[in-house]
Amino acid sequence: MSLSHLKSFLMYFCFHY
């Protein structure tokens, strides 16, 4: 897993909430 991918996922989660 790439760090960029993880960060993107986290950002997406934050935005979704």
**Cα(8)–Cα(11) distance, integer angstroms:** 5
pLDDT digits (tens, 9 = 90+) for 1-17: 688 988 999 999 888 76
Q: What is the pLDDT of residue 16?
A: 72
Helix residue ranges, H only, the chain: 3-16
Q: What is the pLDDT of residue 11?
A: 92
Dihedral sign (CA 8, 9, 14, 17): positive
Dihedral sign (CA 8, 14, 15, 17): positive
Q: What is the pLDDT of residue 10?
A: 92
pTM over 0.85: no
Dihedral sign (CA 7, 9, 15, 17): negative
